Amino acid sequence: METKQLSSKTNILYMGSEPKLPIEHPETPPIYHSTANIIRDMDDYDFASSGGKYYYSRTANPNRDGVAEAVSYLEKGEQSLVCASGMAAISTAVLSLVKAGDHILASRSIYGETIELFDNILKKFGVEITYSDFTDIDSVRMALQPNTRIVYTEIIANPLIEVVDIDAVAELAHRAGALVVVDSTFTTPFAIRPLEHGADIVVHSLTKYFGGHSDITGGSITGSEKLIKKIGANFLFLGGCLDPNSAWLMLRSIRTMELRINRQFENAKKLAEALQADPHVQYVNYPALPGHPQHRLAARIMPNGCGAMLSFRVEDDRSKVNEFMHKLKLVKYLGTLGGYRTSIAHPATAFRHEFTPQKLKEMGMEEGLIRISAGAEAFEDLIADFKQALTVFKPV
């Protein structure tokens, strides 16, 4: 839109911003980068009306709304908020639901940075936090307090792949008048939908399985309209909203999530079985294996598969574990999980700054413990890669 009457300084600000064609039926949604939409009428400046809803991108953005709709659909929740990261989702949800004097009862086996959020930030503002063993329902019962406001857990605990009986936890929490917040990143809605098992809020690091390609950071909060409204008010002030570009990529990734996840779950189960039979492996942690201590619980709450995370134990020799990592040809050592390619992690290295070697051992994170995030490769290629690399270890 060049106008001869205007200065070039002004023209450059306006040209190219009007679409040349009426593009009305794109096969994929456009990316709404615009941080604001023009308010054409005074009455449009109204958050509730559709015209005004998108007046500012942190408040509402069509790409973010698209992701929220998809996550709500998969989790069978009424509404969702889409955040800039899993940690933005967790901090926004939890900060919105507690006040000074409240107590949070959390599983001791939750994501490390969630523990740091609780201990380093929430405690400073007078929120009391205690941790207990959520695989033992009596320990949860004993740890509840009259001021417990949130019971916080994951369903599959890292890195020992322990399973939490979410139905029992939710029942106890609700009887004590507390809300149940579940981080379901490891499980995904294809293994379990926590809201159907009594959770009030489910959070995800969308960075992992939803994104699925190790190229987008994001998070989500899903729950009833009432709770999401309450959290949404703070979401505006805390400001951890996902940017439109990442939201567009996220929705694209979610389209094929089930296809990826089905293969990943299947590969995890086959890997668990094959590794258990390998002479170099001492044991495998995967709840679909009949020998897993919580196999029956897992089969009851996750009948369609127990996720794509597993871990296994070899001899406790740090340099051999390192050699094993080098010897793997396809599988890479990554500080993330949930991607379409199989990756491994070494918990004793990941947690070496947080815990002493003695404490790590007590927690089951021995030098010989290796975690796998199963990808979507052909199983034969995957197991062949593990088998040839496992020969660095002594047979059991």
Ligand X SMILES: *Cc1c(COP(=O)(O)O)cnc(C)c1O
Q: How many positions of this chain bind ligand X (CB under 6 A)?
A: 13
Rounded Cα distance between 102 and 99, Å, is: 6
Tell me, residue by residue from 59 to 78, as one string, x for binding to ligand X by CB under 6 A and - for no binding: --------------------
Tell me which residue has tokens 């258990």: 276
Q: Which is nearer to ligand X, 301 or 390 (CB)?
A: 301
Query: Is there binding between residue 85 and ligand X (CB under 6 A)?
Result: yes
Cis before residue 395, ω within 30 degrees of 0? no
CB of 208 to ligand X, least distance (A): 6
Q: Which is nearer to ligand X, 37 or 246 (CB)?
A: 246
Cβ within 8 Å of residue 49, ≥6 positions away: 43
Beta-bridge partner residues of 223: 79, 201
Reduced to 3 DSSP states, what percent helix, strand and coil does the chain have, rounded to the nearest 5? 40, 15, 45
| Closest among 299, 291, 295 to 273, alpha carbons compared | 291
Binders in 142-201 for ligand X, by CB under 6 A: 154, 183, 185-186
Tell which one of 111, 209, 265, 286 touches ligand X (CB under 6 A): 111
Whether 381 is a known active-site residue: answer no
Residue 17 identity (one-letter amino acid): S
Binders in 257-276 for ligand X, by CB under 6 A: none
Tell which one of 208, 269, 313, 346 touches ligand X (CB under 6 A): 208
Query: Is there binding between residue 205 and ligand X (CB under 6 A)?
Result: yes
Q: Which is nearer to ligand X, 52 or 86 (CB)?
A: 86
Rounded Cα distance between 117 and 136, Å, is: 24
Tell me which residue has tokens 């989702």: 89
| Closest among 142, 218, 224, 138 to 180, alpha carbons compared | 224
Query: Is there binding between residue 86 and ligand X (CB under 6 A)?
Result: yes
Q: Which is nearer to ligand X, 70 or 87 (CB)?
A: 87
Among the listed ranges 125-133, 205-213, 279-287, 320-328, the one in contact with ligand X (CB under 6 A) is: 205-213
Active-site hit among 183, 200, 243, 278: 183
Query: Is there binding between residue 91 and ligand X (CB under 6 A)?
Result: no
Which single residue brings its beta carbon nearest to ligand X?
A: 86
Active-site hit among 208, 263, 269, 371: 208
| Closest among 3, 104, 35, 115 to 355, alpha carbons compared | 115
CB of 156 to ligand X, least distance (A): 9
Whether 44 is a known active-site residue: answer no
Chain-centroid distance, C-alpha 61: 22
What's the number of CA atoms in the CB half-sphere (13 Å) around residue 355? 16
Tell which one of 207, 246, 264, 343 touches ligand X (CB under 6 A): 207
CB of 279 to ligand X, least distance (A): 32
Rounded Cα distance between 114 and 363, Å, is: 18
User: Can you count the helices (H) and strands (E) in the chain?
Assistant: 16, 14
Q: Which is nearer to ligand X, 210 or 248 (CB)?
A: 210
* Burial call 336-374: b when 16+ CB within 10 Å, e when fewer: ebbbbbbbbbbbbeeeeeeeeeeebeebebbbbbbbbbb
CB of 51 to ligand X, least distance (A): 33
Q: Which is nearer to ligand X, 66 or 211 (CB)?
A: 211
Whether 55 is a known active-site residue: answer no
Tell which one of 67, 87, 170, 191 touches ligand X (CB under 6 A): 87
Q: Which is nearer to ligand X, 105 or 110 (CB)?
A: 110
Rounded Cα distance between 232 and 389, Å, is: 48
Q: Which is nearer to ligand X, 37 or 253 (CB)?
A: 253
CB of 207 to ligand X, least distance (A): 4
Whether 58 is a known active-site residue: answer yes
Tell which one of 62, 219, 232, 244 touches ligand X (CB under 6 A): 219
Chain-centroid distance, C-alpha 244: 19
Residues carrying an active site annotation: 58, 111, 183, 208
Contact positions vs ligand X (CB under 6 A): 85-87, 111, 154, 183, 185-186, 205, 207-208, 217, 219
